[in-house]
């Protein structure tokens, strides 16, 4: 896909399709009025007849419009300006692309001046989300099908704006973010018999190719055992798939302290001996979406090459039941030396992450963010709209929250009070891996906090936002790649 920024008027552009944005009750902005005049008042006639109201998300594609160089005109309803927020704009951009991607339209032009958001977003912000959502709307997962999806005609979008430099830069960021999100979705959507821990390591090898700023280290099970990472290894010991700890260093800012991302990479989670119910277990291939989001962000960094240092860590295992699998009541020793009583083998994500969070101390991180599909309790608390956020540093939490708002990929800050820690007490080890049903998301983060005392750390629980469960939208979402991308770019 090619994105172009220009200051030419829409009526001067020869494209397959021009877009006219129509507000509530048929209100036309300046660019839409110019199109209406060139088309001999066609847009006004359609509105007057009641065939188009400008309701938010409404679309109408008109073929062969006299007076315009374009062969088609697309009307897109933006609704009331005081109701058009960031999330609705994201849906608007996706709906726009969905309305034309199945046809023979190869090039589209639009003017974002005619879209007014309640938060007063500028054209650069709108262009960034337009490019991002164009790439994600055009995504199709067909790798595992006998026939590839038909190639789409759409390959060019032109955005009209007087501030072409800012819009052009924003389009580049948005496109890279969208493509990075699609990398995350691809990895998440692959089945567990393909996307194994070793497969993730192989994808990391491909990622660092032809990128001088990136280096790769992959630890096998023997190397992890030598480091004392017995907690992470305990999760994968019942699987025939070997575990891997994958580290990609991106250096774009010399000797500055890096920002570290740690992704939970359970490539399939059966629950282990604490076996999950059979219904819906197929979705446990998505339990590596935290790791997939790290890979997606690294792809964005490779494309944009920002002046920031980042370390991406993928802790990759498969959790399966077997005669040698970890049992409820087993006690293991973490890399930090702390011992853990494993009361439930299905609370495995924290067992994987705790050793990875100890391992990354060697990088002297400026900040650490782990990303994990960690708890079903987060879905009960926040549904599928917001990512759960917990942190040992309020300033870091505030930065992540602000990044989520800027990227229209929001999170919600939950407490991490010391009073919750007592739920993890064990009679037999230093800590238990579960704290009971109350505040399950918080106690899971409390467990992780025991291993993050020496640096600024935040935890993103994406159990509710990493994938859609049913219907034609079933599959990985690519979240929170936009949030994390914005966070890292804010550190440049």
At CA 231, angle to CA 227 and CA 237, rounded to 5? 100
Instruction: Report the Cα–Cα distance between both ends of the chain, in Å, rounded.
Output: 27
Q: Within 13 Å of residue 435, how many CA atoms lie on the same side as its CB? A: 22
Tell me what pLDDT residue 25 has.
Answer: 84
At CA 388, angle to CA 467 and CA 361, rounded to 5? 100
Which CATH fold topology does 2-175 show?
Answer: 3.40.220
Where do the domains of the chain lie?
2-175, 195-489
Query: What is the rounded CA–CA span in Å between residue 335 and residue 370?
Result: 17
For residue 381, give both structure tokens.
Answer: 């608390």
**Which residues, listed in sequence order, are joined to residue 476 by a DSSP beta bridge?**
467
Which residues are the active-site residues?
A: 276, 350
Rounded to whole angstroms, what are the CA distances from 16 to 3, 100, 256? 15, 11, 48
Neighbour-count burial of 318, counting CB atoms closer than 10 A to its CB (0-12 exposed, 13-18 middle, 19+ buried) = buried
Query: What is the rounded CA–CA span in Å between residue 111 and residue 159?
Result: 6
Using only the alpha carbons of the chain, give its radius of gyration: 24
Provide CB contacts within 8 A for 375, sequence distance 6+: 388, 440, 441, 444, 461, 463
Sheet strand arrangement including 339-342: 330-333, 339-342, 431-432
Tell me what pLDDT residue 10 has.
Answer: 95
pTM of the model: 0.97
Query: What is the rounded CA–CA span in Å between residue 195 and residue 268?
Result: 9
Count CB-CB contacts under 10 A for residue 320: 21
Residue in the structure block whose two tokens are 């942190």 = 391
Asked if 370 and 456 count as a contact pair (C-beta separation under 8 A), the reply is no
Question: Among 3.10.400.10, 3.50.30.40, 3.40.630.10, 1.20.120.80, what is the CATH number of 195-489?
Answer: 3.40.630.10
For residue 25, give both structure tokens.
Answer: 């009750």
Query: What is the rounded CA–CA span in Å between residue 126 and residue 133?
Result: 11
Provide CB contacts within 8 A for 311, sequence distance 6+: 247, 248, 249, 250, 258, 259, 260, 261, 360, 363, 365
At CA 129, angle to CA 400 and CA 25, rounded to 5? 120
**Residue among 20, 10, 305, 3 at smallest CA distance from 134:** 3
Query: What is the rounded CA–CA span in Å between residue 208 and residue 214?
Result: 6
Query: What is the rounded CA–CA span in Å between residue 61 and residue 293?
Result: 36
| Residues in the chain, overall count | 492
pLDDT tens-digit profile, the chain (492 residues): 999 999 999 999 999 999 999 999 899 999 999 999 999 999 999 999 999 999 999 999 999 789 998 989 999 999 998 899 999 999 999 999 999 998 999 999 999 999 999 888 999 999 999 999 999 999 999 999 999 888 999 999 999 999 999 999 999 999 999 999 999 999 999 999 999 999 999 999 999 999 999 999 999 999 999 999 999 999 999 999 999 999 999 999 999 999 999 999 999 999 999 999 999 999 999 999 999 999 999 999 999 999 999 999 999 999 999 999 999 999 999 999 999 999 999 999 999 999 999 999 999 999 999 999 999 999 999 999 999 999 999 999 999 999 999 999 999 999 999 999 999 999 999 999 999 999 999 999 999 999 999 999 999 999 999 999 988 899 999 999 999 999 999 999
**Residue among 188, 194, 101 at smallest CA distance from 479:** 188
For residue 187, give both structure tokens.
Answer: 């990895």
Provide CB contacts within 8 A for 214, sequence distance 6+: 207, 208, 248, 249, 250, 251, 298, 302
Tell me what pLDDT residue 330 has.
Answer: 98
Query: What is the rounded CA–CA span in Å between residue 462 and residue 378?
Result: 8
Provide CB contacts within 8 A for 444, sequence distance 6+: 347, 349, 350, 374, 375, 377, 435, 461
């Amino acid at each position: 896909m090619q994105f172009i920024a220009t200051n030419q008027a829409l009526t001067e552009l020869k494209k397959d399709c021009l877009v006219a944005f129509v507000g509530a009750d048929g209100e036309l902005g300046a660019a839409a009025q110019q199109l209406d005049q060139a088309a001999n008042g066609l847009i006004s006639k359609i509105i007057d007849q009641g065939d188009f109201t400008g309701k938010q998300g409404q679309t109408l594609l008109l073929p062969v419009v006299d007076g315009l160089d374009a062969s088609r005109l697309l009307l897109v309803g933006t609704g009331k300006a005081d109701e058009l927020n960031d999330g609705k704009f994201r849906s608007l951009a996706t709906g726009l692309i969905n309305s034309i991607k199945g046809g023979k339209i190869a090039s589209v032009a639009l003017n974002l001046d005619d879209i007014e958001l309640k938060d007063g977003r500028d054209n650069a912000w709108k262009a960034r989300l337009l490019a991002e959502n164009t790439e994600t709307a055009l995504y199709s997962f067909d790798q595992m099908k006998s026939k590839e999806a038909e190639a789409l005609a759409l390959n060019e979008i032109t955005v009209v704006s007087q501030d072409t430099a800012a819009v052009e830069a924003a389009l580049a960021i948005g496109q890279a973010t969208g493509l990075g999100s699609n990398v995350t979705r691809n990895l998440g959507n692959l089945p567990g018999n393909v996307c194994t821990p070793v497969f993730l390591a192989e994808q990391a090898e491909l990622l660092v190719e032809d990128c001088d700023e990136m280096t790769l280290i992959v630890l096998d099970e023997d190397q992890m055992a030598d480091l004392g990472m017995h907690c992470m290894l305990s999760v994968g010991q019942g699987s025939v798939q070997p575990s891997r700890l994958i580290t990609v260093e991106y250096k774009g800012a010399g000797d500055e302290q890096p920002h570290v991302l740690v992704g939970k990479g359970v490539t399939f989670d059966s629950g282990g001996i604490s076996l999950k119910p059979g219904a819906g277990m197929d979705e446990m291939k998505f339990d590596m979406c935290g790791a997939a989001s790290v890979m997606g962000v690294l792809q964005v960094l490779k494309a944009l090459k920002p002046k920031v240092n980042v370390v991406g860590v993928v802790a990759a295992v498969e959790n399966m039941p077997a005669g040698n699998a970890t049992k409820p009541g087993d006690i293991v020793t973490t890399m930090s030396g702390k011992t853990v009583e494993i009361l439930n083998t299905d609370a495995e994500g924290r067992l994987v992450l705790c050793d990875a969070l100890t391992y990354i101390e060697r990088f002297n991180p400026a900040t650490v963010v782990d990303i994990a599909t960690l708890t079903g309790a987060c879905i009960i608390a926040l549904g599928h709209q917001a990512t759960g956020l917990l942190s040992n540093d309020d300033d870091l939490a505030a930065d992540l929250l602000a990044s989520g708002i800027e990227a229209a990929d929001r999170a919600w800050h939950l407490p991490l009070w010391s009073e919750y820690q007592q739920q993890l007490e064990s009679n037999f080890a230093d800590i238990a891996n579960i704290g009971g049903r109350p505040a399950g998301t918080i106690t899971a983060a409390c467990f992780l906090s025991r291993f993050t005392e020496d640096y600024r750390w935040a935890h993103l629980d994406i159990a509710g936002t990493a994938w859609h469960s049913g219907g034609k939208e079933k599959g990985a979402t690519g979240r929170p790649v936009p949030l994390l991308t914005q966070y890292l770019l804010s550190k440049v």
